[in-house]
C-alpha cells in the first residue's frame, strides 16, 4: 500500500486522511483509535491506533504518519506500507504571515541598529 496524503501544518494526519489511506469507513477508524471516554490520553496500546496527545476532549484526533504506518503493518496485517507526506498547499494566510514576519524582522534590525551607536561606552 502506498499513498500520498496531505497533513496539517504540524505534519499530522486527520481522520479523513486515515479513511483514504486505510480504505476504511470513518466509524472503523474511530474503532481502531486508542481513545477512552474517561481518559483524554490513554496509555500507548500496540494493538490500537494511537493518536497524538490532546489538551482538550474537543480537540480533533490527529495521528503521526509513522504511527499510521505501524498500525497498518502490525495490526491490520498490510504487508507493504509506505506513506508519503505531502506538505499542505500555501494559503493566503500563510503568505500574509510570512510577509508580516519579514516586516517585523526589518523593524527589529532598524531598532537594534539605532540602539547600538547609543550604547554606553
> What is the structure's pLDDT at 87?
66
Average pLDDT, stretch 3-8? 57
Between the alpha carbon of residue 97 and those of residues 3, 6, 9, 104, the distances in Å are 30, 21, 14, 10
Residue partners of 65: CB distance under 8 A and separation at least 6: 5, 7, 11, 12, 13, 83, 85
Instruction: Give 89-114 pLDDT, tens digit per residue.
Output: 677 888 889 999 999 999 999 999 99
Residue pair 66/12 in contact by the 8 Å Cβ criterion? no
pLDDT at 121 over 70: no
Amino acid at each position: 500500500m502506498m499513498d500520498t496524503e496531505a497533513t496539517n501544518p504540524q505534519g499530522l494526519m486527520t481522520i479523513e486522511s486515515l479513511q483514504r489511506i486505510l480504505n476504511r469507513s470513518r466509524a472503523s477508524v474511530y474503532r481502531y483509535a486508542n481513545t477512552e471516554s474517561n481518559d483524554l490520553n490513554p496509555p500507548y496500546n500496540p494493538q490500537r491506533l494511537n493518536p497524538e496527545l490532546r489538551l482538550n476532549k474537543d480537540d480533533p484526533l490527529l495521528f503521526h504518519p509513522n504511527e499510521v504506518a505501524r498500525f497498518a503493518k502490525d495490526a491490520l496485517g498490510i504487508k507493504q506500507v509506505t506513506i508519503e507526506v505531502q506538505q499542505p498547499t500555501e494559503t493566503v494566510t500563510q503568505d500574509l504571515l510570512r510577509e508580516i514576519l519579514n516586516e517585523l524582522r526589518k523593524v527589529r534590525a532598524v531598532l537594534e541598529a539605532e540602539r547600538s551607536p547609543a550604547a554606553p561606552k
